Every structure is written in structure tokens, then in C-alpha cells.
Chain A
Amino acid sequence: MAFMAYTNMNENNWYKLDNAAKIYPAISGPGSSSIFRVAALLKQDVDPQVLQEALALTAPRFPALSVRMKRGLFWYYFEFNPEIPLVTVEKAPPCRPIKPDENNGYLFRVSYYKKRISLEIFHALTDGTGALIFLKTLVSQYLTLLGHGVFTYAGILDCEDYPSVSETEDSFRKYSGPKSNSKWKEEKAYHVNGTKMPSEYLGVVHGIIPLNDFIKLARESNVTLTMYITALIIYSIYRTQLNNRRSYAPVKVSVPVNLRQYFPSKTLRNFSSFVNIGMSFDGQEYTFEQILNTVSQAMKSEVQPDKLIGKISANVNAEKNIFMRLAPLILKNVVLRTAYNAYGVSQFTCSFSNLGAIKLPEEMEQYIERFEFVLGAPAANMINCTACSFKDDLIITFTKMMHETDIEKFFFRYLTQQGLSVTIETNRG
């Protein structure tokens, strides 16, 4: 394929996994698929044949995503996939694991259901930003094939262009330095209790809220949307799970940080870090405002470029360690899984990922009702939350592995009590 010469793919058409990607094959399983979904809800039913055609045109433009994963003796690697990815009709709950033989070896799944086009993708390939660019380009191709015009915008790639080297670079290696600054061991976090669903199900609850009203609400407290939602998640867990009781473990929310905001990276592969923001409860009664204050202070202090560089440098330096490099893959998987359980998933109560405002060319907006962002819930944490906004709507989505609805019910009720109008959609009757 001609594109290979213009990318970071090796001469033999393969990539090393980036630093963040290395953990996902080791920790993924039926209960924790490491799959997330970005979806576009159109105003008309999806035509599967046109979508298939659009996908065949779009995928080659994204060499970093058009790969299959192979096992080496020491590391996994991505190999160029010459097959055509397939479009399927959505039949199962979101974010179920992608089997290697399911989509000609691709690590993403493009599906449709009525008006929705969904892209579900293995996190080892890319993060939310990369996936969103792929989805927007796919939807743009789809609309173009339907005769609605040609759409160009910074967030939509031109499928006629060659991919640039910067799109496929491993930005972790590029921007990491020798100085590590990361505490691996943090205090273990409180974990939500609930009745577990079977691992093949995933409960999804969308709350659709007028964006401007929410921004106004957050501005009244001088905080960002991410801070407000993070604080409200903690407050909801505190009120519904702890019932104002003392908790020896803090309630912590893991918030991914898009590093492209701080470094001039154009990569379509993973380039995000995270901060764990939380609060301990000592039995006294806490108000939402107190929690919001703690959260905003912690975020301002943690989300700093130098701290983020220190964090990614620690991970990249660990990966470069000669003992780590020479350990056989089978052993690495055991080590990474153990480390993730000890220092990863146990250190936060749930994740909250904000994809931000999704922009489209004005002439394309009229065909799209909204976007959705869904995280697969890891079995250990039971519940996750995401947010994204499109035009006038903010869509907050809870995904969960438990039957109880108390947390999200409290969350959305609190917002209605603040005067916001909330529309709920869910995949559970």
C-alpha cells in the first residue's frame, strides 16, 4: 500500500504499540474489554451498503487503525491489515469484546442501528480523540456518498490525502523526558457496591442536557464542566453509596487528560494521560460545594504540563527498562496485569472522560442529531461516566455493570434541582 511509505510504519508494515497501548492487551478480558464507543446519531436511517462503501474509503486513510494485532516473543505489535473492514448491524449491548476473527482481524467495529453509526474501538489503537476523527471522517464520507456534498474541516480528514508521519507517531516517546515524576502507589479508592450484571451486558444511561444552561451553572461556581461533573459524580456516590457515612477509602474519579492540549501532537494514536481526583469522607456531612471546591483545587494542581510530562516519562522509562524489554510476553502480561490491579484499577472508584465539544462543518451539522460517547465499564469498578457536547446539547452517559440505578438517578435529579432540563435515554427497560 502506497500510504505505508508516508507513515511511521516500519518497512515491513508494522508498528510497535505505543506506551499507553501496551497495558490493554494484558488487562482485557470478558469483564473488562477496554473497548469504547463513539457514535453519531443521524436524522435519517442508516443505509448499510453506503456505510460499507464509506468505511472502505475511510479505513486506508487511517493506517494507525487499519491494523491487526500480533504476538511477538517480547511484545505485541500491530501489522498492516490488507482486508476490508466490515459494517455490521448492532445486535448486542455496546462495547463487548472484539474477537480477532470477527471483523477480518480489525480491532474496531463499525455498526449501525436505525439512525446511529457506531464506532467501537480497542483502546490499544487510539484514544477518544483519534476515534472521534475516524468517526467524523467516516460519517462525512457516508454523507458525501449520499450526495449531501463534500465536507472539509480540521477534524475531518481528506481521504484523498496521504497520511502524514505526525498522524502515526508515538507521541509518548517524543514528548517524554528522562525525568520521571510519578507516584505509582496511591491510596486505594472506594469501590461501588451493587448487584453485578452478567459480563456480556452493559447498562447505558444517557442524560441530554442543554449545554448553555450547564455552562452557566458551572460558571456560577467558577469551575469548568469537567470539574463540575467530576464533583457531582463523587457527591452522588457519597450520598447514595456511603449515605454520609465515613469511608476509609477515598472516592476517586479517574479523569483522562488529552495531552494534545499541552503538546503540539497530531497523532491519531493514544496520547492521553489521567489524573485521579478524589476526596476522603470522615463521617461529617459534606455539601456539594465543599466537594466541588476540593475537586477544582485538585484538578488545577494536578493538570499541569510538567506533572503530566513526569507521569508519561515514568511510564516510558519503565517500558525502556532492559529487564522489562527482555521478559517474554507471557511474563510481561502477568506483570502488567498484576501492576494494573495493584496500582491501576484499585486506585479509582470510576472514570469520567470528557470528549469536549464536537465540531462539524456547518453544512454537515444539519444531518446529525447528536454524538454519543460510551465507555465499557471495567468489572472491578462497575460504573463509568462520559460527556460530550454537540451543538446545543451536552450528553452525559453512565455505563455500568450493576443493576442498581441510584447513582445516576441521584446525579440527574441533582441537576434538575438546579433548574436544568434533563432527558434520559437508556438501553434498559
Chain B
Amino acid sequence: MKLDTADGVSEPVLDKEICPDGLAGADAADFEDWSRYPSPEGGSGYRYNFLLRLFIFISIVVGSTCLLINLLTYEGNLWSLYVIGSLLYAWVVIGYPLLRKRKTGQIIVVVAIATSIYVFSLELATHTKGWGLTYVLPFIFIGATLVITFIILIKRLKWREYTVYQTIMVILGFLPIIFCVTGLANPMWPSILSAFYSLLTLVGMFVFVDKKYKDELIKRFHI
């Protein structure tokens, strides 16, 4: 530690054990064992991720170029928003599991929600009613619930990790019923199938699980 003495004020005593500079003439070898703090090991831990930056840059270039061309040649159709929306969707679906260590259940739920939002937006933007809300969303929810059920059956010891994701997917599975009631989904059978499948899963959860499962739910959903 550097403490100057030029202004002549009385100085705190530098402990020789820590500040060998403050003890001119002492045997340098003696200080080796005296340091009370270790020298920090390794670097800063900061990593420059070139690939990630490259993909971010490419996404920005593609998105902004499309938007610029679209605006310069605008004829009533904002088609560049499809490109930007698809890029964002790709970042969620590919980036979410790859950028950080995630649990499988987490990835399934996030991808199912992101895909639902993407499909719903696409259906709205293209004015092509009758495919997204009617067919795609219910089957996404059924598929995701089914996958989590299989994981729970296979990884029986890790069932606790998946309870929260299973419950979220079961709740989402009932969502298409709202589309039926509001007339957004026609025909209604995929939505009814999704809700029915969720109901069966819910019943299965109550029939097969023990108190531990219920405790797990209380723990994870406590408010």
C-alpha cells in the first residue's frame, strides 16, 4: 500500500506482514509467508464470445436492412415485421437453451409459449384465420404436456423438478377453450381435445401422486 509521508503528518504504521515496501532493509525472504491475503488466481473470468456477437450482428443487419428496404419501397405491406418477428422467435427458441444452462422443463415451457405467441402474431398479421389458434396452439400445448409427462415417467427420481412445468402446461392446455368461447377457433375439436387432455393429466396427477407431490406444489407456488 502506498502511503506518502511528504506532508509530515503522523502516519499509520504499515504492518510489515502485509506491506513489505514499508520496511526497507528487512529480509525479503521473511515476507513470503507473512502475507495475510492470497494473490488472486486466474484472470477476470470474462470471455469474449465471438460467435454470439457475430450472430447478434447478423440478426441486426438482416432485420434493419429488411426494415429499410420495406420502408423505402412501402406499398401498404409491412412484410419486414415478419422477418424481425421470425428473428426474435429464432433467438428465443435457439438462444434460450444455448446461452445458459437451463432445465429441460424450463426450455419446453418457454419454447411452447414463444411458439404460441409467434403463431398467434403471424395469424393476426397475415389475416389468415383458421390455422394458428385453431390447430397449432392446442397441439403445441398437448405436445408439450405429453413430453413433460414422459420425462417424469422416465426420470422418476427427478420428478420434483418437473412438477412446476407440468402444472404450467396443464393450465395453458385449458387456454384454447377461451378461443372456442370467443369464436376465434373454428372448428372447436382441437381446443376441446387440448382442454380434455389437460383435464386427464390433472386427474392423473391427483390419482397417482402422493403427499410429497402436493407439498412440492405448495412449496413452489407459495405466495
Q: Are A424 and B44 in contact (CB under 8 A)?
A: no
A residues 370-429 in Cβ contact with B at 8 Å:
405, 409, 412-413, 415-417, 421-429
Known: A74-B221, A412-B12, A428-B1. A12 touches B216 (CB 8 A): yes
* Distance of A114 Cα from B14 Cα, bound (Å): 20
The answer for the CA separation of A326 and B223 in the assembled complex, in Å, is 6
Q: Which 9 A-B pairs have the closest CB atoms?
A: A427-B37, A12-B215, A422-B12, A325-B223, A425-B18, A412-B12, A72-B220, A416-B10, A426-B1
State whether the Cβ of A113 lies closer than 8 Å to any Cβ in chain B: yes
Min CB distance, A390 to chain B, in Å?
Answer: 16
Q: Does B36 contact A (CB under 8 A)?
A: yes
Best-buried of A41, A198, A417 by chain B (most CB within 10 Å): A198
Least CB distance from A424 to B in Å reads: 5
Q: Are B218 and A12 in contact (CB under 8 A)?
A: yes
Chain A residues whose CB sits within 8 angstroms of the CB of B9 once the complex forms? 413, 416-417
Within 1-50 of B, Cβ neighbours of A (below 8 Å) are at 1-3, 9-15, 17-19, 21, 33, 36-38, 40-41, 44-45
By beta carbon, the residue of chain A nearest B218 is: A12
In the assembled complex, B84 has its CB within 8 A of some CB on chain A: no
Q: How far is the CA of A91 from the CA of B10 in the complex (A)?
A: 34
B2–A74 touching, CB < 8 Å? no
Report the separation of the CA atoms of residues A399 and B215 in the bound assembly, to the nearest whole angstrom: 43
- Determine the residue in chain B with the shortest Cβ distance to A409: B3
A302 at the interface (CB under 8 A from B): no
Q: How far is the CA of A246 from the CA of B36 in the complex (A)?
A: 40
Q: Which residue of A74, A412, A417, A424 is within 8 Å of B222 (Cβ)?
A: A74
Bound complex: CA of A72 vs CA of B165, how far in Å? 11
| Bound Cα distance from A205 to B44, whole angstroms | 22
Determine chain B's interface SS by DSSP, over half rule.
loop
Give me 12 other A-B pairs in contact (C-beta within 8 A), A41-B36, A72-B222 excluded.
A70-B219, A73-B221, A74-B222, A79-B219, A92-B40, A416-B11, A423-B13, A423-B15, A424-B1, A425-B19, A427-B18, A429-B21
Tell me the total A-B contact number using a CB cutoff of 8 A. 104
Pairs A–B under 8 Å by Cβ, sample size 14: A12-B212, A41-B36, A72-B220, A72-B222, A73-B220, A75-B222, A77-B219, A412-B12, A416-B11, A416-B12, A423-B12, A423-B14, A429-B1, A429-B19
**Interface status of A201 (Cβ within 8 A of chain B):** yes
A424/B221 in contact, CB under 8 A: no
B36 near A114 (CB under 8 angstroms)?
Answer: yes
B219/A425 in contact, CB under 8 A: no
Within 8 Å of chain A (Cβ to Cβ): is B88?
Answer: no
Q: Report B-chain residues with C-beta under 8 Å of the C-beta of A69.
A: none
Please classify how large the interface on chain A is, using the bins under 10, 10 to 19, 20 to 34, 35 or more. 35 or more
Instruction: Return chain A residues, CB-CB under 8 Å to B184.
Output: none
Contact A77 B15 (CB under 8 A): no
- B residues 138-164 with Cβ under 8 Å of A? 164
* A412 nearest CB neighbor, chain B only: B12
Q: Which of A121-135 contact B (CB under 8 A)?
A: none
* Set of chain B residues within 8 Å of A14, measured between Cβ atoms: 219
Give the shortest distance, in Å, between A163 (CB) and chain B (any CB). 20
Instruction: Give which listed residue, A70, A113, A326, A426, contacts B18 with CB less than 8 A.
Output: A426
In the bound assembly, the distance between CA atoms of A424 and B1 in angstroms comes to: 9
Residues of the B chain whose Cβ atoms lie less than 8 Å from the Cβ of A409: 3
Residues of B within 8 A of A12 (CB): 212, 215-216, 218-219
A20: chain B residues at CB < 8 Å are none
* Minimum distance in angstroms from A417 CB to a CB of chain B: 6
Contact flags (1/0) for A77-107 with B, using CB distance below 8 Å? 1010000000000111100000000000000
